[in-house]
Every structure is written in C-alpha cells, then in structure tokens.
Amino acid sequence: MTKYFATFACAAFVFATGGQFASASVFTGTLYYTHYTGGQNVWSVDYSYNDATHSVSLTNNQNLASVNGADGIIFAPNGNLLVGGQTNPNVHELTKTGTFVTDHSTNGEQSYHLALSPDGKTVYTSNFGGSLVSIVLAGGTTVSSVTGDDSGVTQLAFANGKVFYDVGSPNGYGNAGIYDLATNTTTRTVSGQQAVHGMVYDSYTGKITFFGAGAVGTMSAVDGSGFTQTDLGYGDFDQGSPDGKGHAFIAGHDSITFVDYSLSHDITNPDYSISIGGFYGIDDLSPLSGLGSNPVPEPSSLFVLGMCGIGLAVGACRRCRTES
C-alpha cells in the first residue's frame, strides 16, 4: 500500500485554509479477487482512495484466469496467487498475472477460505465447517479432525503467537474462538454472531476482524474476548481485506464495499463507507496487509515513488513518503 502526500493547486489551498497549506492522502493499489460463478473466476482491479474527498475509484478490472473452482485467495511467499478450489479438491497456484503453476492437493477435501502460516510454509483451508486441511507448500498435505467446542472450522487467523478460528455456513452467524494447532482443539469465545464468516487479523486496530452477512465485527487478538459488531447495511459480505492503514475492502453482494476507519480506529464505528456495484458473483478478496498479502510491490506503487522523487527535485511536491 502506498501513501503519498502532494500539494494540489497550492494557491487555492492557501487561500481556502487562511494561509495554511493543506494536503490529501491518496492510497492506491490492486485488489485480487475471485468469482464463485465459474468461468472467468480470478480477477484483479486497481483502486484509489482520497481521504480528503472520500473519493473511491475501482479501475482496470481484468480477468486473470479461469480455474476449476475459485473461492479463497491469498498470496504465497513467492508472490504467486493461491486459490481455493471450492468442490474441486485442490488449491490452485497461479502467477499474479494468471498463469497456471500447479495444484496443491487437499486429499479429497473441499477448499474455501485460505490462511497462511506465520512462517509462510503452510496454507490452511477447509470446507465451511469440517476438517482442517494443512498444505505444506514444499509438498505434503494433512487432514485433521477438529474437536472441542466446535467440531469444524471455516478459517484460521494468526496474531500474537496465537491461532484463532471461526466456523459457520455462508455467509455469517458463525462461532469463533481460539484454536490449538497441536491438538486441533477449539475453545469458543463467540457464538452465533452475524459478522462471523470471513476472518483476518488487522494490524491497524490490533484485533481479529470479521466480515459476514453485511456486518463487520472485531474481537481481542489476545484471548478472543470483547466481541463487537455493526451491520453496515450493504447486504451480504463474505471476506474482507484491511490495508493496515485504517481502511478495508469487503467482497459480497455483487459489490466491493470500502470502509474508512482511520480516525475512529474501529471498523465497527467507521468514519466513511460506500458500496460499489458491478462485481457480479464476487466471492473473496486477497489480503492487502499481513499474512497472505502481496510480497512484491505493485507497479503503480513504484510509479508513485518515482513521481515523488521527481516532484521533490522540481519543487512540485511539498512532502512525499511511502509507508509499508
């Protein structure tokens, strides 16, 4: 994610602000997402967000690949995309331009949401409430029965040396809690809540964050306590992607929903949100930050960095910086 500051129409801003310079923060990048409808089902779209004007644009929407089943989508540490095969018992590996690399077998299990281990060596997947499938990217798959308060999982998330899980049918009203990878045991801390389906750790808030059934929710990334949620009123949600800067994109309801919570520091109390249609059959988004996010900078980000240097050289840009 690239954040850059530029001075626009300096004279106008000086006048409007009583002699003080004003600046806008513009965030740009690329979202990778899947369709559940088959056919052309792996896509990318470029985004831009101006936090001064609350202007969100999604452009250059393009199909990357057609694979046999597509659901969850993340990046592997080598920069390739990993895509859950739905009822096809594989996790597909593609380059980020859509070229097929290989299929990682799930040993006959369905594959929906995906999560990458903190060491980057293992991908975890499952059907919407069954056994945990552990795929070692270097080779080897293990299917583990789940016990405890819940006897299946939908997704895992990692934070503070701990593992968290959720479980629930599409696309919400699930349970969540703490997962013991050594014993494959669940300890439930949240029961039957609207937002619980897609799950990720958000470094901006330091919380486990949920997306489901049109709602967003959070709980402690230490012990799974303190669950809270709010319905954003945009219909169905499946999976979301925080950028680590106080913004998130959410897939679902044939739309991409954008949420800005950079001031409130609480996605359940957003500063601004908007739902953008035109994405029929959209399913899941790849992470924009943290585990499973793109390890290689996007060309647009590199271009912005270059323009900052040029702007500084000619005095056209008052201040530029990149935050990782």
Residues 275-322 pLDDT 10s: 999 999 999 999 999 999 999 866 554 334 343 433 333 333 333 333
Average pLDDT over residues 48-73: 98
Please tell me whether residue 284 adopts helix, strand or coil conformation. Answer: strand
CA-to-CA dists, residue 287 to 1, 82, 96, angstroms: 11, 12, 13
The pLDDT, as a whole number, for residue 24 is 84
* Burial (0-12, 13-18, 19+ Cβ within 10 Å), 315: exposed
Separation CA 238–CA 236 (nearest Å): 7
C-beta neighbour count of 321 within 10 angstroms: 10
Helix (H) or strand (E) holding 310: helix 299-314
Contact 29, 46 (CB under 8 A): yes
Residues 63-109 pLDDT 10s: 999 999 999 999 999 999 999 999 999 999 999 999 999 999 999 99
Residues 214-272 pLDDT 10s: 999 999 999 999 999 999 999 899 999 999 999 999 999 999 999 999 999 999 999 99
Omega cis (within 30) before 171 = yes
Please tell me whether residue 16 adopts helix, strand or coil conformation. Answer: helix
The pLDDT, as a whole number, for residue 193 is 98
- At which residue do the structure tokens 């513009």 appear? 26
Contact 233, 275 (CB under 8 A): no
DSSP string, 39-68: SS-EEEEEEEEETTTTEEEEEEEEEEE--S
Residue 4 confidence (pLDDT) above 50: no
Contact 2, 49 (CB under 8 A): no
Domain spans of the chain, in order of start: 2-314
Kindly state the DSSP code that residue 313 receives in the 8-state scheme: H
The pLDDT, as a whole number, for residue 298 is 67
CATH ID of 2-314, from 2.40.10.10, 2.40.30.20, 2.120.10.30, 1.10.150.110: 2.120.10.30
Split at pLDDT 50, 70, 90, the class of 28 is very high
Which of these, 246, 274, 281, lies nearest to 260 by C-alpha position? 246
Please tell me whether residue 31 adopts helix, strand or coil conformation. Answer: strand
The pLDDT, as a whole number, for residue 296 is 86
Separation CA 127–CA 115 (nearest Å): 13
Here the tokens at position 94 are 């593609």
Residue 56 confidence (pLDDT) above 50: yes
